[in-house]
Structure 1
Amino acid sequence: MGVIKSFFKQIAYILPEVEPPKKKISLRNRFIWSGIILILYLIMGNIPLYGVRTGGQDWFAFLRVIFASSRGTLIELGIGPIVTAGLIMQLLAGAEIIKFDFTDPEERGIFTAATKFLTIIVTIVEATAMIASGYLVLASYSVSVVTIVFLQLVVATILVMLMDELVQKGWGLGSGISLFIAAGVAQQIFIRMFSPLTVRVDDEIQYFGAIPFIIQKALQGDLQTTFMRTGNYPSLLGLITTLAVIFILIYTEGMRIEIPISHAQYRGIRGTYPVKLLYVSNIPIILASTLLADINMFATFLWSRFNPNNQDPLMNLIVQMETTEGGGLRIVGGLLYYVTAPTDIFQAMADPIRSLTFVITMIILAILFAVVWVEVGGLSSEKVAEQLVESGMQIPGFRRRAYSINLVLKKYIPLVTVVGGFFVGVIAGVAQLLGVFGSGMGILLMVDILMNYYQILMREQFEELYPSLARLVKI
């Protein structure tokens, strides 16, 4: 593995990099930088890809919230390659396939360079797959147009990677990835709730936003038709479910088991180690969604190259597709049909088997990835016990040994890992079927990200108001 790390060390010199600020930036200026980066990202999401035609069903729609992407624009790939590369590197490091000493700044730099390099590789692979599979419908398949579209996707994703790095290195707050996801979900929720634009539904002009539509129907004395709408348009059911899911998630974020701990040398220092119900947070959903997205993209490539007419019985078992009037692709059969979400609640009710298998798939994947992430991400009871002992902490009434602390933690961590994975899988799957604004996965991510931002802001304000005390606490 020394050869691999040496390669990444050498390649780090040619990879693009954002320099960190020479001194800590004030909270106000970090807000400004975060706002500028977010505005740039939103602008990129409104610039269409040159040479690409729009239209057809977007069967990646339910995953776009996870990847903060926008169809047919410069952020077509969104943060997908960045997340995929980051998760692969985390898994390799956590499983010690490639060992990194994160206490050494040089090793951390090599890890960052490896992640960047892998991000560029994933971007190239995904861009190639999207063009070659026909998922992106090009105006012309000449060499020049294909090259221009490919370069747009690669360069835009590299820019997004640098924008995320700029925020993370101290110019902004939190991480760019979290900022892009939260803003994208919030934007979708706002549009689907309040948009005054009109659409034609069943030969009738209706407001797109749920609240304007409800007011419109109330004035017409026809409130019973607001509960569900065809075409996946925002409805009263979606509004109620969205508010309910947000409330449930905020309430669940506070559910935890607090294990008392104290410092072995300074007996007056006491605290608790919280084991939250959502112990692994939204990681299982991100991993599950990334896996499904990559499988779908690979299957589309195989279908377009080897089974475009759905005549191969073996390939038909995996996926069957058809071309829509707009030139896009739609999954109509095969195993992948049953692990992708229906486009609206009417499709969900019309094909309950597909709806059920989709939810079960999300639950199984969420539980599996929760268990795997706890082991490779350093969150297992054994790893946490070692970390507590190394930091000088102990559980009152138990010997200050990793073995003793592990016995206590083992009562809770494996259980909440499975229960938490099951919970987020159910929320993500069922909410998707019920037409939650921003999708169930999106709201899961948004609530978790906003809670983390709240904690960051509280810590930043504390450090600005009481710098001496903040340094003491860090020690």
Structure 2
Amino acid sequence: MTLRDTLEPFFNKLPAVASPEKHVHFKDKLWWTLGVLVLYFALANVPLFGMSQDSIDLFESYRAFFAGASGSLVLLGIGPIVTASIVLQLLVGADIIKMDLSDPKDQAFFQGAQKFLVFVMIILEALPQLLGGYIQPDPGLAATLNVGLGVITLLLLVQIFIGGTLILFMDEVVSKWGIGSGVGLFIVAGISQQIVTGIFNWEFEEGLPVGLIPKWIYIAQNTGADYLFSGEGLMFLLVRGGILALLSTVAIFLLVVYVESTRIEIPLAHSAVRGARGRFPVKLIYASVLPMILVRALQANIQMVGIILASRGITFLGEFSGSKPLNGIMYYLAPIHSPYDWIPSLVRESFASYGATAPAIWQIGLHVLADAIMLIGGGIIFALFWIETTGMGAKPTAQKIFNSGMQIPGFRRNIGSIEKVMQRYIPKVTVIGGAFIGILTLVASLLGTLGSAGGTGLLLTVSIVYRLYEDIASEQMMEMHPMIRSFFGEQ
């Protein structure tokens, strides 16, 4: 008996959200999606019982695409789901685990293994933070309850595990009963909240209001026009005044919408219904922007390892101030979030606030280059893995087209002929799209955006919302024309 034969019955017994036995109507899907969204916001506002105010959020810089909320029940956000996906995709891609993901049986095993890994990752991401002293138990509560700090720590671990499990099953509910994916929905929810905060927040930070509108009102009331129109004043307005962030936010929004609408359309004709024609669109960003989440999640986990080692006095990979890498290889592997990470004068200002020596200009350049390689190279690799693990490759797509009764005009009606045509386009477009979205993410990260969402977060949000709009449109179309469901493999 192989290891797979041993694990398969165990994976099949893992708790799961039941799939609908018949077609779920559009209104019902909409209610399920909205219900999960409301539940997500509720959980994000439930604080962890027994957590000290002195706790540090290791993933503070990654909140934009990890969703969740600091100090809440959903502290880990989608981190465990994304990390489990990375690990499994790398194992399958390197042929360490041999699977044919076009085979339904292998797909079921892959999904079971991924779910099991999510449970493992919840523990692996929570324990280092608890044992490393980043998530600290409240000594006052321990004294009140007359228990040791270890009991409060265990209580915190249980709460974090429950929150991580709820996120997993909420994602599954949206995928099976709702519209789009839970992972995308949670990212959009978190980043939208950050953008609204970034526009209207009146709280002061470093002498200026955080929100864009309050910031402009404050600058207009307290800063002279002669300073604002000087060279230093213009730089102040661009960076700290938020003009660059506003311009980049609008530019990213327009560019992503344009790129999402760029596609190659392969003509299709129905084999039985004469004159019935259609088109299969192969988008430029065929694998969507979700592979970028995988790249940033990989960077976040690398940084977490460096932070934990540094807290133990092992600093050969780099030193940290909180979750900010100050030097060493961890500095170069850290993602770029804003102009404060690459404009030399702003980098010096940022490092001065940590009481650390700023890196030289060549080191800043190397940091930008390393992030570019991670984003572009990682975008291509994870995009290729993504289409294979989600049934978007040439072979599964050809099977769907064949099952729907469609064929490509001028070619024989068999799966092999359709697959050959798809093979001409899908792998190439996936590589080009993966590289392009990596470049777009890099540019967005360099320029920064409104709020603390970051360029990556905004790019993800716009793309996910656009795809959600398309999903809603296709759902409405399937309600009006039930025969279209067969193309998507629905009953």
TM-score (norm 2): 0.79
Deviation at 1:364, TM superposition (A): 2.2
CA deviations over 1:23-65 (Å, ceiling 9, x no partner): 7665445434433322222232233334444569866334222
Determine whether 1:97 maps to 2:82.
Answer: no
Shift in alpha-carbon separation, 1:110–1:144, aligned structure 2, 3 A: same
1:5-404 equivalences in 2 (<5 Å): 5-10=5-10, 12-13=12-13, 15-19=14-18, 27-54=26-53, 60-89=59-88, 97-98=98-99, 103=104, 112-139=111-138, 142-170=149-177, 172-195=178-201, 197-201=202-206, 204=207, 206-220=208-222, 222=225, 225=233, 228=236, 235-305=242-312, 307=314, 310=315, 316=316, 319-323=317-321, 328-342=322-336, 344-350=338-344, 352-353=364-365, 354-374=367-387, 378-381=391-394, 384-385=397-398, 388-389=401-402, 392-400=405-413
Aligned residues: 452
Deviation at 1:385, TM superposition (A): 4.7
Task: Give SS of 1:320's match.
Answer: coil
Could you tell me which amino acid in structure 2 is paired with residue 199 of structure 1?
A: F
Q: CA offsets, 1:272-292, max 9 Å, x none?
A: 222211121113212211211
Go from structure 1 to structure 2 and tell me whether the alpha carbon gap of 1:261 and 1:18 turns closer, same or farther (over 3 Å shift).
Answer: closer
- Structure 1 residues 5 and 118: alpha-carbon distance in aligned structure 2, compared to 1, 3 A threshold: farther
Closer, same or farther: CA 218–57 of 1 in aligned 2, 3 Å: farther
User: Given that residues 366 and 422 in structure 1 are in contact (C-alpha distance below 8 angstroms), is that contact kept between their aligned partners in structure 2?
Assistant: yes
Distance 1:46 1:431 in 2: 29
RMSD, aligned CA? 3.5
| SS at structure 2 position matched to 1:272 | strand
CA–CA distance in 1 between the matches of 2:159 and 2:87?
24
Q: Which amino acid aligns with 1:252?
A: V
- 1:27/1:399 Cα in 2 relative to 1: closer, same or farther (>3 Å)? closer
- Taking structure 1 as reference, are residues 259 and 461 closer, same or farther at Cα in structure 2, changes over 3 Å only? closer
**Cα distance change of structure 1 residues 234 and 65 upon mapping to structure 2, 3 Å threshold:** farther
Per-residue CA distance 1:367-413 (angstroms, 9 max, x = gap): 23234444555544466456545655443234446665555445443
Paired residue type of 1:71? S
Q: Structure 2 vs 1, CA of residues 462 and 403 (structure 1 numbering), >3 Å: closer, same or farther?
A: closer
Q: Point out where structure 2 has 5 or more consecutive residues left out of the alignment.
A: 140-147, 345-360
For 1:442 and 1:295, how far apart are their aligned partners in 2?
19
Change (3 A) 1:291 1:271: same
Q: Deviations over 1:67-124 (max 9, x none)?
A: 21222222221011123334545666786724577657xx776654433322111111
Identity, % of aligned positions: 35
Equivalents in 2 of 1:55, 1:357: separation in Å? 33
Per-residue deviation, 1:454: 1.6
CA distance in 2, matches of 1:30, 1:378: 22
Look up the match of 2:436. Answer: 423
Q: Alpha-carbon deviation of 1:426?
A: 1.6
